[in-house]
Amino acid sequence: MSATKNNFNEIDEGTDYVGYLEAFQLITSNVKTVGVEELPLALSVGRIAAADIVARVSYPSSDVTLKDGYAVVSADVEKATPRRPVRLRIIGSVYAGGRHEGRVNPGSTIKVCSGAPIPPGADAVVSEELCEEISPAEVLVKADAAKGRNVLVAGGEVKAGETIVKKGERLLPGFLGLAAAAGINNVSVYRRPRIAIIGVGDEVVAPGSNLNPGQLYASNLVTMEAWLASFGISCLASVVQDNETAIKSEMSKYLRDVDVILTSGGAWGSERDLVIGVLDKLGWREIFHHVR
C-alpha cells in the first residue's frame, strides 16, 4: 500500500487498481525531496548529486606524456623504422611533476616518464620499447610518431568550468576521480531517506524468535531490508500484532524520525487489515491502493 500526507495529489477515487508503471509514476510524482548534505568525494560514491559538479581547474594542467619514452619533433622520426632507425641526441630527462628548461630542437630529444610535462619544442613521444639507448647521450628511434602521439593535451580530460556531473546524476567512481583531478574535494548530495519497515500480523514473528503453530517468520521484512541495503540505505524494522492501537503507536513513533514508512501485511482491506484505518486516523491520504 502507498499513502502519504494530505498535501499530496489525489487520484480518481473510482479507480480500484492501477498497473505497476502507473503506480511507479504516482509514487515518483508525489515524492518529496529529502535534504542535502556535503560529503568528501570518497564517501559520496553511489549518491545522487544535488548540484552540478564543475571543474575548478583543467586536467591535465599542461600537455603530458602518456608513456615512458622520448619526447621528439615528429618530423625527425617520420621515416624511422627498425631497419633504418633515427639517431637523436639526448639532452636531458624529465619526470612526472618535474620540468626541463631545455628545448627539443630537430635532432635532439628529452627522455620522459609517464605523466611528465611535454618539453618545449616536442610534439610527440616515442615509447621506450621502440627505442634503443646506445649511450647516455644518444638513442636510436626505430618507429615513427605522428604529431600528438602519446601526448595528453592540457584539458584533455576536463577543462576548467566544464560540468563533470549534472544535478540528479549518480556519482560513480570514475566521475569522482575526475572531480578530484579537477580540484574538487567535497560535493553536495541528496541525503539518503530514513526508512522504517513495520511487519503487521498476529501470525508474524521476528526471525530468530520461537515459532508457534500457525505462525511464520517475517521474511518480507528481511527481503525489503536487503533491497534497501543494496542501495546503501539502512532502515529500522519491527513487527506488531493485528492491533489498531499497537500499529498506530508504532507508526507514530517512527513518524518523528523517518521519511518513509513501509508496511508489510494488514493493508489489503479485510476487517482484519487494520493499517488503512490507522492511516486514515493519522491524516494520510491514499494515492493508490491495489496494484494489478
Beta partners for residue 12, in sequence order: none
Q: What are phi and psi of 226, to 5 degrees?
A: -65, -40
Which CA distances in Å does 207 have to 204, 253, 264? 9, 22, 15
Question: Does the pLDDT of residue 2 top 60, yes or no?
Answer: no
Which CA distances in Å does 133 have to 96, 141, 160? 21, 9, 39
| Contact status, residue 69 vs residue 113, Cβ threshold 8 Å | no
Question: Domain with 114 in it: what CATH number?
Answer: 2.170.190.11
Residues 87, 148 within the same domain: yes
Number of domains in the chain: 3
What average pLDDT does this structure show over 266-276?
68
Beta partners for residue 39, in sequence order: 187
The pLDDT value recorded for residue 5 is 42
- The span from the CA of 139 to the CA of 108, in Å, is 9
Between 288 and 83, the more confident residue is 83
Q: Contacts for 230-238 with beta carbons within 8 Å, 24 or more apart?
A: 231/46, 232/46, 232/47, 232/192, 233/192, 233/193, 233/195, 235/194, 235/195, 235/196, 235/197, 236/195, 236/196, 236/197, 237/196, 237/197, 237/198, 237/199, 238/196, 238/197, 238/198, 238/199
Per-residue pLDDT tens for 194-245? Answer: 999 998 888 888 888 888 888 888 888 999 999 999 988 989 999 988 888 9
Which CA distances in Å does 227 have to 2, 90, 220, 241? 18, 61, 11, 24
**Residue type, position 103, single letter:** R
- The span from the CA of 161 to the CA of 44, in Å, is 21
Residues 49, 93 within the same domain: no
Percent of the chain with pLDDT over 90: 63
Residues 17, 49 within the same domain: no
pTM: 0.72
Q: Is 278 exposed, middle or buried (0-12, 13-18, 19+ CB in 10 A)?
A: buried
Residues 40, 165 within the same domain: yes
- The span from the CA of 17 to the CA of 292, in Å, is 6
DSSP-based three-state secondary structure for 29: helix
Last residue of a domain, one of 121, 152, 183: 152
Question: Domain with 278 in it: what CATH number?
Answer: 3.40.980.10
The pLDDT value recorded for residue 269 is 57
- The span from the CA of 287 to the CA of 292, in Å, is 15
Per-residue pLDDT tens for 23-72? Answer: 999 988 988 888 999 999 999 999 999 999 999 999 999 999 999 999 99
The pLDDT value recorded for residue 223 is 94
Residues 184, 39 within the same domain: yes
| Contact status, residue 233 vs residue 191, Cβ threshold 8 Å | no
Domain span holding position 86: 64-152
**Residue type, position 155, single letter:** G
Question: Does the pLDDT of residue 160 top 70, yes or no?
Answer: yes
